[in-house]
A and B are shown apart, each in its own frame.
Chain A
Amino acid sequence: MSPSPSILSVLSEDLLVRVYGFLDPPCRKTWRLASKEFHRVDSLSRTSIRILRVEFLPVLLSKYPNLSSLDLSVCPKLDDDVVLRLASNGAVSIQSLNLSRATALRARGLETLARLCHGLERVDVSHCWGFGDREAAALSVAAGLREVRMDKCLSLSDVGLARIVLGCSNLNKISLKWCMEISDLGIDLLCKKCKDLRSLDVSYLKITSDSIRSIALLPKLEILEMVNCPLIDDDGLEYLENGCPSLQEIDVTRCERVSLSGVVSIVRGHPDLQHLKASHCVSEVSRSFLHNIKALKHLKTLWIDGARVSDSSLLTLSSSCRSLTDIGVSKCEGVTDIGMTGLARNCLNLKTLNLACCGFVTDAAISAVARSCRNLETLKLESCHMITEKGLQSLGCYSKLLQELDLTDCYGVNDRGLEYISKCSNLLSLKLGLCTNISDKGIFHIGSKCSKLLELDLYRCGGFGDDGLAAISRGCKSLNRLIISYCGELTDAGVEQIRQLEHLSHLELRGLKNITGAGLAAVACGCKKLDYLDLKKCENIDDSGFWALAYFARNLRQINLCYCSVSDTALCMLMSNLSRVQDIDLVNLNRVTVEGSEFALRACCNRLKKLKLFAPLRFLLSSELLEMLHARGCRIRWD
């Protein structure tokens, strides 16, 4: 039998590359297994990769020569030595590097990396709690950096920021969220030296209005996020009225000292503003606010959560800003059907609507929104108790593009409502937590029709059982996240069905007292991609389940075993075999001895990034172990 002619005789390589370009990531896996040619196309055209294990790094780097983006954020054991190897393994052409949560990474590795990767433009080192001034100085060697994300680098101070600012003067995006040591001095220097800055995130920082004065001098700034800056006040925002001429997006959510007048001064100075997020700092939508906001003809996003809004003001608002696509009015007092109906009539392009905790909104408003805003993609109705199946019916009829629906704590939702919702076949995310009136019947509709669903939250939905879960497992094959915590009816029979969900990565089984080792074993066996598993208070799972978990759930990264009856041996097995585990909660394990904990932790101490332990163990575990954990950058929370 002669070999079949190459696919290249029909389709040239560049055509193949174009076809490949249209594929979703899961399909690409199938593609590269199809033939040698396809595999070759895959390896040549792939530009970004997320690596799960450091061990495969050299092989993957040699396989994919054209990589420009490398994500190492979920790798365990990522430390200086790995990074040094990375640099020598041809990762020199990398432009974008994600080192988020690489807690063991220190200045030595970073500096080599920064020296060797000349093309480096984007670096993410967020949540590296070991990332301090020394590391920042090492990173500043990469002079070509344009984007730096340093969220929650708790030991980074103004000095470190100054090093980065002075080393990389072409920065145009920087995020300093939760870098609590950063003060006005650092921000001032940043604004003086990096004039090209387009995006700046200073959320949660203890900066004052002096910083805003410096920020106002940035000529190109487009996006400014300052969520929950407790020291910034209206006087500070006044600087922005005449500053930042290119500003398009601003977020002043939960800034305690900012009031309506501050927001008005921003609006007055920037008629081209597109996104205004002022949740929980505007107390009331006043006439002056409305008057000024009318001038914003390009406004797309408006978040005024927590403000007092009257129907008439909602009408005025929507009639002047007709291009609005994203409105957040959660927890707003005074939002009623009249206002929402008017808004729906005016804002036909609405894509996202957040009505969480607006208790007076009824089916009439939802129907009006569904009828008028046919492009609606996201609808958040958490705690809207008046919503019943009538409202959901119109959603099912008209909102064919709906992707995300949050019905948490809407106890008006019943099986019939779910039946209507299931007509929204494009749903990707559905949250039904605390909806106690739904049963297997309703869940069955979801399972049978919403095949694209990626996320399903059934937290404390006590009304459904194994059959419902089986229907979901059969129907929603692409499900990524499944939350069935405290659904007391579920037993092994239902949970075993979860094994059909091959793509499942996040599973919460908290408080399921009826499941045993058999159920867990089936899940572990089937869900190969499982990355997050919450087994808290699953008291009846025995060691057989944990043994299976240890052998099959090889991708597990985060696990919560609090109140589980895991034994010493099983815990040691788990911790030594799960080579990707990085974040574990081990509180209240009755059958585990101190020695057991010690052994288990020793087995995985070079991988751990976060650990929650029973507080008295602090004095019972060996000090070498604790020091080792600390040296590897592991954060321990004592409970």
Chain B
Amino acid sequence: METEDDLCKNNWGGASSSSSSKRREQVCFTSQHKWEDASILDYEMGMEEEPAFQENSNNNNGGQVNVDFLQGVRAQAWDPRTMLSNLSFMEEKIHELQDLVHLMVRRNGQLQGRQEQLVAQQQQLITTDLTSIIIQLISTAGSLLPSVKHHNMSTAPGPFTGSALFPYPREANNLASQTLNNNTCEFDLPKPIVVEERESHVVEEHEMKDEDDVEEGENLLPGSYEILQLEKEEILAPHTHFCTICGKGFKRDANLRMHMRGHGDEYKTPAALAKPNKEAAPGSEPMLIKRYSCPFPGCKRNKDHKKFQPLKTILCVKNHYKRTHCDKSFTCSRCHTKKFSVIADLKTHEKHCGKNKWLCSCGTTFSRKDKLFGHIALFQGHTPAIPLEETKPSAQRGSSACENSNNNNNTGMVGFNLGSATNAIEEVAQPGFMDGKIRFEDSFSPLSFDTCNFGGFHEFPRPMFDDSESSFQMLISSACGFSPRNGGESVSNTSL
């Protein structure tokens, strides 16, 4: 039986050194530290019957030290002294485990009538410890690799220097996960499979950039992060946080915590309401980076893919999975052609759908003007196209208005209209847009004054030009292919 103080002193995870009476909580604790991310953590808690919150805050330091230690290994270059300490540490660890198994054997003799539950728990505990020892071994071995690599590089600096080395950690990885899988079948290990890789060699990653919105330029070393993988059902589940009391689901943990307050005063304490992630003391070393793998086999985001590119957050996993491996069920209500599987994408699209399409004469459209202008500047002979919009409805409206007004006018103008007898004939004779105005003016000009009365008037004989206008129009329209009435349309046709 060891105390909590011992736990804190101990660099390695405290599971093996804990007393059997506390085992359950300890399992919970270790698992908890392996999934740092809040949502997974909560999910995990949801699975457990009794979340071990109180324990958490105490045990936390131990876990922290553990992580620090691992990072220390990663950060340093290979150092025989570190190696030695690692090895002695593992030795110690194995001894501890040995002691524990001894204890169990003895206890088994004493408590034969105990339930099978306890047996399972013991198994679980041992497996976990074994796993961690294996991982530790692998990572210690991995720390040797940089020197090997440097040696290789100096002898054969080929393009495959990095990838040639890759099999080592990957094999180790597989080995680790296999052991895990073999042993975890029976007990209640959370679904996401945890693999810790520990190598500090440098592998250059050239392939980057997926359609997903993450990892732009992120250049994480493989193995310098934890890889978590959620199952399909989890990814697609609408709610990821469930109330342990009433079973209600929530999208966000914060919402769940707010909800929990309604279940009793114990959930109203600041500790219960605090963000579970934030308990790390300020100034402490950062946690090990978590990255996610897509459960879809063969996907580039799947951890078994040769050029695996991890996803940054759970949200990325969800969006990636929906975008890439699910049906696009949301259709844009404006254009009815674009489909999306993520509703946020649909909303983004709908915001801009049909708006300000910047169009080039080559038919390419751009959402932004500067992009269009960049395109035009680049390609010879391309010009910005002018959107078709309404081709001069105003002019046509104007012409109809004019004709209307003309009709109205003739009736209303009787008082003024003293000498225009030819109006009616002209109206019939001259079709078209212009005539309205011409007639209008004619109806006005021969008011009661006679030109002969004023000497100066002869200088500007009223031109007869306007009358020939319609004939001119006809000529030109037939000659140039322009019809004066709907010329706007013909222009737009030619300009495109």
Which residues of A come within 8 Å of B, CB atoms?
53, 55-56, 58, 80-81, 84-85, 87-88, 106-108, 111-112, 133-134, 137-138, 158-160, 162-163, 166-167, 185-186, 188-189, 192-193, 525, 528, 551-552, 554, 572-573, 576-577, 579, 599, 602-603, 605-606, 622-625, 627-628, 630-632
Whether the pair A552, B491 counts as a contact (CB closer than 8 A) is no
Known contacts: A528-B459, A630-B394. The answer to whether A112 contacts B404 by CB under 8 A is: no
Whether the pair A162, B460 counts as a contact (CB closer than 8 A) is no
Question: What's the minimum C-beta distance from A209 to chain B, rounded to whole angstroms?
Answer: 16
Contact of B456 among A160, A528, A622, A632 (CB under 8 A): A528
Known contacts: A85-B476, A552-B456. The answer to whether A134 contacts B463 by CB under 8 A is: no
Known contacts: A189-B373, A576-B445, A603-B441. The answer to whether A81 contacts B473 by CB under 8 A is: yes
Cα A85 to Cα B470 in complex, Å, equals 11
Nearest neighbor of A626 in chain B, beta-carbon distance: B401
Whether the pair B399, A158 counts as a contact (CB closer than 8 A) is no
Count of residues in B whose CB is under 8 Å from the partner chain: 55
Cα A603 to Cα B441 in complex, Å, equals 6
Whether the pair B409, A602 counts as a contact (CB closer than 8 A) is yes
Whether the pair A551, B456 counts as a contact (CB closer than 8 A) is yes
Check B479 for interface membership: any CB of A closer than 8 A: yes
Nearest neighbor of A551 in chain B, beta-carbon distance: B454
Task: List 18 other contacts, CB 8 Å, given A84-B473, A137-B386, A525-B456.
Answer: A55-B466, A58-B465, A80-B484, A81-B469, A81-B473, A81-B484, A107-B491, A108-B491, A158-B384, A166-B382, A188-B373, A552-B454, A606-B440, A622-B408, A623-B401, A624-B408, A627-B398, A630-B394
Q: Which chain B positions have C-beta within 8 A of A528?
A: 456, 459
Whether the pair A603, B440 counts as a contact (CB closer than 8 A) is yes
Cα A185 to Cα B358 in complex, Å, equals 13
Check B104 for interface membership: any CB of A closer than 8 A: no
Q: Which chain A positions have C-beta within 8 A of B395?
A: 106, 631
Known contacts: A81-B473, A602-B405, A605-B437. The answer to whether A189 contacts B398 by CB under 8 A is: no
Q: Mark B456-468, 1 if CB is under 8 A from A, else 0.
A: 1101100101100
Whether the pair A185, B416 counts as a contact (CB closer than 8 A) is no
A to B CB contacts below 8 Å, 12 in the list? A84-B473, A88-B472, A106-B488, A186-B373, A551-B457, A572-B444, A576-B441, A606-B441, A624-B405, A624-B408, A627-B398, A628-B402
Contact of B476 among A88, A579, A622 (CB under 8 A): A88
Check B275 for interface membership: any CB of A closer than 8 A: no
Whether the pair B482, A84 counts as a contact (CB closer than 8 A) is yes
Whether the pair B376, A108 counts as a contact (CB closer than 8 A) is no
Cα A625 to Cα B440 in complex, Å, equals 12
Question: What's the minimum C-beta distance from B450 to chain A, rounded to whole angstroms?
Answer: 11
Cα A624 to Cα B492 in complex, Å, equals 27
Whether the pair B466, A159 counts as a contact (CB closer than 8 A) is no
Whether the pair B456, A628 counts as a contact (CB closer than 8 A) is no
Q: Which chain A positions have C-beta within 8 A of B492?
A: 134
Q: Which chain B positions have C-beta within 8 A of A189?
A: 373, 376-377
Check B286 for interface membership: any CB of A closer than 8 A: no
Known contacts: A133-B386, A528-B459, A630-B398. The answer to whether A88 contacts B413 by CB under 8 A is: no
Known contacts: A162-B384, A551-B449. The answer to whether A603 contacts B394 by CB under 8 A is: no
Check B72 for interface membership: any CB of A closer than 8 A: no
The A-contacting residues of B in range 55-111, CB under 8 angstroms, are none
Question: What's the minimum C-beta distance from B407 to chain A, rounded to whole angstroms?
Answer: 10
Q: Mark B467-496, 1 if CB is under 8 A from A, else 0.
A: 001001101100110101001101110110
Known contacts: A55-B466, A81-B434, A108-B488. The answer to whether A628 contacts B401 by CB under 8 A is: yes
Known contacts: A55-B466, A606-B441. The answer to whether A554 contacts B479 by CB under 8 A is: no
Whether the pair A84, B373 counts as a contact (CB closer than 8 A) is no
Known contacts: A111-B491, A576-B447. The answer to whether A627 contacts B397 by CB under 8 A is: yes
Q: Which chain A positions have C-beta within 8 A of B465?
A: 55, 58
Q: Which chain A positions have C-beta within 8 A of B460?
A: 554, 579
Cα A576 to Cα B418 in complex, Å, equals 14
Known contacts: A85-B476, A166-B383, A525-B456. The answer to whether A632 contacts B398 by CB under 8 A is: yes
Whether the pair B491, A631 counts as a contact (CB closer than 8 A) is no
Cα A544 to Cα B100 in complex, Å, equals 125
The interface centre, meaning the residue of A84, A189, A525 with most chain B CB atoms within 10 A of its CB, is A84
Question: What's the minimum C-beta distance from A638 to chain B, rounded to whole angstroms?
Answer: 19
Known contacts: A106-B392, A134-B495. The answer to whether A625 contacts B405 by CB under 8 A is: yes
Q: Which chain B positions have C-beta within 8 A of A576?
A: 441, 444-445, 447
Check B370 for interface membership: any CB of A closer than 8 A: yes
Question: What's the minimum C-beta distance from B155 to chain A, rounded to whole angstroms?
Answer: 51
Cα A58 to Cα B434 in complex, Å, equals 18
Check B232 for interface membership: any CB of A closer than 8 A: no
Question: What's the minimum C-beta distance from B483 to chain A, rounded to whole angstroms?
Answer: 10
The interface centre, meaning the residue of A525, A528, A602 with most chain B CB atoms within 10 A of its CB, is A602
Nearest neighbor of B405 in chain A, beta-carbon distance: A624
Top 4 closest pairs, chain A to chain B, by CB? A631-B398, A55-B463, A624-B401, A576-B444
Whether the pair A137, B373 counts as a contact (CB closer than 8 A) is no
Whether the pair B482, A112 counts as a contact (CB closer than 8 A) is yes
Question: What's the minimum C-beta distance from A361 to chain B, rounded to whole angstroms?
Answer: 49
Known contacts: A552-B456, A602-B440. The answer to whether A88 contacts B373 by CB under 8 A is: no
Q: Mark B231-248, 1 if CB is under 8 A from A, else 0.
A: 000000000000000000
Check B305 for interface membership: any CB of A closer than 8 A: no
The A-contacting residues of B in range 423-442, CB under 8 angstroms, are 434, 437, 440-441
Q: Which chain A positions have C-beta within 8 A of B444?
A: 572, 576, 603
Nearest neighbor of A183 in chain B, beta-carbon distance: B369
Q: Which chain A positions have C-beta within 8 A of B484?
A: 80-81, 84
Cα A100 to Cα B397 in complex, Å, equals 25
Contact of A628 among B398, B413, B480, B491 (CB under 8 A): B398
Known contacts: A603-B440, A628-B405. The answer to whether A80 contacts B377 by CB under 8 A is: no
Whether the pair A134, B491 counts as a contact (CB closer than 8 A) is yes
Q: Which chain A positions have C-beta within 8 A of B476?
A: 84-85, 87-88, 112
Whether the pair A112, B397 counts as a contact (CB closer than 8 A) is no
Question: What's the minimum C-beta distance from A35 to chain B, rounded to whole angstroms?
Answer: 22
Question: What's the minimum C-beta distance from A446 to chain B, rounded to whole angstroms?
Answer: 30
Contact of B459 among A85, A554, A628 (CB under 8 A): A554
Q: Which chain A positions have C-beta within 8 A of B386?
A: 133-134, 137, 159-160, 163
Whether the pair A137, B495 counts as a contact (CB closer than 8 A) is yes
Cα A602 to Cα B439 in complex, Å, equals 11
Question: What's the minimum C-beta distance from A156 to chain B, rounded to whole angstroms?
Answer: 12
Known contacts: A81-B434, A137-B495, A599-B413. The answer to whether A88 contacts B475 by CB under 8 A is: yes
Whether the pair B373, A158 counts as a contact (CB closer than 8 A) is yes
Question: What's the minimum C-beta distance from A460 to chain B, rounded to whole angstroms?
Answer: 32
Q: Which chain B positions have C-beta within 8 A of A632?
A: 398
Nearest neighbor of B381 in chain A, beta-carbon distance: A166
Cα A599 to Cα B444 in complex, Å, equals 10
Q: Which chain A positions have C-beta within 8 A of B463?
A: 53, 55-56
Cα A597 to Cα B359 in complex, Å, equals 45
Q: Which chain A positions have C-beta within 8 A of B398?
A: 627-628, 630-632
Known contacts: A88-B475, A137-B495, A625-B405. The answer to whether A162 contacts B480 by CB under 8 A is: no
Q: Which chain B positions have C-beta within 8 A of A602?
A: 405, 409, 440
Cα A623 to Cα B401 in complex, Å, equals 9
Whether the pair B437, A606 counts as a contact (CB closer than 8 A) is yes
Nearest neighbor of B440 in chain A, beta-carbon distance: A602
Q: Which chain A positions have C-beta within 8 A of B473?
A: 81, 84
Q: Which chain A positions have C-beta within 8 A of B369?
A: 158, 185
Question: What's the minimum C-beta distance from A569 to chain B, rounded to whole angstroms?
Answer: 8
Cα A624 to Cα B404 in complex, Å, equals 8
Question: What's the minimum C-beta distance from A438 to chain B, rounded to whole angstroms?
Answer: 35
Whether the pair B401, A162 counts as a contact (CB closer than 8 A) is no
Cα A606 to Cα B317 in complex, Å, equals 67
Question: What's the minimum C-beta distance from B359 to chain A, rounded to whole angstroms?
Answer: 9
Nearest neighbor of B483 in chain A, beta-carbon distance: A108
Question: What's the minimum C-beta distance from A611 to chain B, rounded to whole angstroms?
Answer: 15
Q: Which chain A positions have C-beta within 8 A of B479?
A: 88
Cα A158 to Cα B401 in complex, Å, equals 33
Q: Which chain B positions have C-beta within 8 A of A81?
A: 434, 469, 472-473, 484
